[in-house]
Amino acid sequence: MAPVKVRKICCIGAGYVGGPTCAVIALKCPHITVTIVDLNKARVDAWNSPDFDLPIYEPGLEDVVRQARGKNLFFSTDVDKGIEEADLIFVSVNTPTKKSGVGAGFAADLNYVELATRRIAAVANSSKIVVEKSTVPCRTAESMRTILEANSKPNCRFDILSNPEFLAEGTAIQDLFAPDRVLIGSLQTPEGKDACEALRSVYANWVPSERILTVGLWSSELSKLAANAMLAQRISSINALSAICEATGANIDEVAYAVGKDSRVGPKFLRASVGFGGSCFQKDILNLVYLSESLHLPEVAAYWRQVVEMNEYQKRRFSKRVVDTLFNTITGKKIAVLGFAFKADTGDTRESAAITLIKNFQAEKAFVTIYDPQVPHAQIWEDLKEASPHLTLEQIQKQVTITSSAVEACNKAEAVVIATEWKEFREIDWQDIHSRMSKPAFLFDGRLLVDAEKLRTIGFKVTTIGRGEVL
């Protein structure tokens, strides 16, 4: 049997991964019709909005959607029609950490993957290649295959591939246009290899062949968890060193520079910060911890768990440093938090360090003002409500205000905390901000973003992650 020529793709899940990934596939493969389906009507409506008010912010995304939407790229809530018509289906639904039941707090909640898989089995009237795009525990493809085969109609064959997504939010379009690698995992059977070739030929429209890696299914699934665990581990390692820097007077930037010059280590991802966030790192490591425990590998589980614990420690440590520096109390003081997204160039707030910081400041009875250039105010309220379920929104709003500019947030504030590395915070007129703040004016740089020396000459009392003035 020759590999299928892919003509119609359906992507289940129009989120941060499904949306950009399949929009880029549509742009790069004009001969393929791509339909992205989602149960969330508001999200689909936003993808279809006439003025391109898309549901996620990602540099370059609007341009891609403008070029392909209505030609060979479609967004729809009609999941069944999308499945029926496609020869290849990406499953790109969310796989959050389980909140209850067995493995709560660690294991991935595979309910959305299972529901999407069952829908494919129920609706498909012809053979399909089903591609696991969501990040899932090792051997999930096997469960998907079992569900599909047990429910398939005669003459319907399902081949399962794993094709984890390595894009980083904030640079998603750039990453999709020129990926370091595309990974495709398949069963090493003739049918599995044919399915792999069908997907490979889609990516081959713009990705050089040496960057398309084909491996076994389980290696592909595990590689995604491994990649995220190792990236997060680098951040926790540099953050652990930042604590030593603060205690000794060493400078984390200098240490990172010196360490990164070793070609075996490399310079990337060695930037100390208030802690990593995002929907993936913590979730995927906890998933790996759970997997290790399930496989009776407690030492391996403990090793990876420590990466997450170090991240929690970093956020606590930073919050405490704010309180300590402000003469051991922030009760009744106004703290401006600049940035709410988990990193720059995204509007995504999932697991953002800012949420933890603000919660800690609330607990200390400070008044907090928040400014972020991209995150919708409603999202901020939703996140703060979820972080403090014992408080009503009205109670939260007595302590927290969201502003429409950094200047407004900092007005009469005792301290400014930089929580996200938005470029505009580097370019702010800090002289003006200083003139509007209570004195002494404190600034806490949780992202190594601003020129501390320059700000000190303006009059700020600056505290930077990984820099101690102790010795």
CA proximity to 245, closest of 181, 309, 342, 321: 321
Question: Which string of x and - marks every residue 244-283 that binds ligand NAD (by CB under 6 A)?
Answer: -----------------------------------xx---
The answer for residues whose C-beta is within 8 angstroms of residue 132's C-beta and 6 or more apart is: 91, 113, 140, 141, 144, 160, 161, 162, 163, 164, 221
345 contacts 351 by C-beta, under 8 angstroms: no
Phi, psi of 459 (to 5 degrees): 130, -5
Task: Tell me how far apart the alpha carbons of residues 422 and 113 are, in angstroms, rounded to a whole number.
Answer: 34
Task: Tell me how far apart the alpha carbons of residues 261 and 432 are, in angstroms, rounded to a whole number.
Answer: 38
Q: According to CB under 6 A, which one of 17, 110, 141, 256 is a site residue for ligand NAD?
A: 17
Q: What angle do CA 228, 233, 234 make, to 5 degrees?
A: 105
Residue 137 in the binding site for ligand NAD (CB under 6 A) = no
Q: Is 16 annotated as a binding residue?
A: yes
252 contacts 466 by C-beta, under 8 angstroms: yes
Q: Is 321 annotated as a binding residue?
A: no
Q: Is 272 annotated as a binding residue?
A: no
- Least distance to ligand NAD, CB of residue 365, Å: 34
Residue 414 in the binding site for ligand NAD (CB under 6 A) = no
Sheet containing 73-76: order of strands: 73-76, 33-37, 8-12, 88-91, 128-132, 158-162, 182-186, 212-216
Phi, psi of 463 (to 5 degrees): -120, 125
- The region of 109-117, 232-240, 337-345, 416-424 touching ligand NAD under the rule CB under 6 A is 109-117
- The region of 7-15, 211-219, 290-298, 394-402 touching ligand NAD under the rule CB under 6 A is 7-15
* 280 is annotated as an active-site residue: yes
Output the DSSP codes for 316-376: HHHHHHHHHHTTT--TT-EEEEE--SSSTT----TT-HHHHHHHHHHHTT-EEEEE-SSS-
Token code pair at residue 385 = 């409500």
Q: Is 18 annotated as a binding residue?
A: yes
- Residues for the chain: how many in total? 471
Three-state DSSP class for residue 98: coil
- The region of 143-151, 164-172, 195-203, 209-217 touching ligand NAD under the rule CB under 6 A is 164-172
Residue 368 in the binding site for ligand NAD (CB under 6 A) = no
- Least distance to ligand NAD, CB of residue 21, Å: 9
- The region of 112-120, 319-327, 389-397, 436-444 touching ligand NAD under the rule CB under 6 A is 112-120
Residue 134 in the binding site for ligand NAD (CB under 6 A) = yes
Comparing CB distances to ligand NAD, the nearer of 121 and 167 is 167
Token code pair at residue 193 = 């290899």
Output the DSSP codes for 251-292: BHHHHHHHHHTSTTT-STT----S---SSSHHHHHHHHHHHH
Catalytic residue among 11, 245, 280, 410: 280
Comparing CB distances to ligand NAD, the nearer of 21 and 33 is 21
Position with the least CB separation from ligand NAD: 15
- Least distance to ligand NAD, CB of residue 456, Å: 36
Residue 116 in the binding site for ligand NAD (CB under 6 A) = yes
- Least distance to ligand NAD, CB of residue 9, Å: 15
Comparing CB distances to ligand NAD, the nearer of 235 and 322 is 235
- The region of 34-42, 195-203, 356-364, 389-397 touching ligand NAD under the rule CB under 6 A is 34-42
Residue 39 in the binding site for ligand NAD (CB under 6 A) = yes
Binding site for ligand NAD (CB under 6 A): 12-18, 37-40, 43, 79, 92-95, 112, 115-116, 134-135, 165, 167, 169, 279-280
The annotation places the binding site for NAD(+) at 13-18, 38, 43, 93-97, 134-135, 169, 280-283, 350
- Just list the catalytic residues: 280
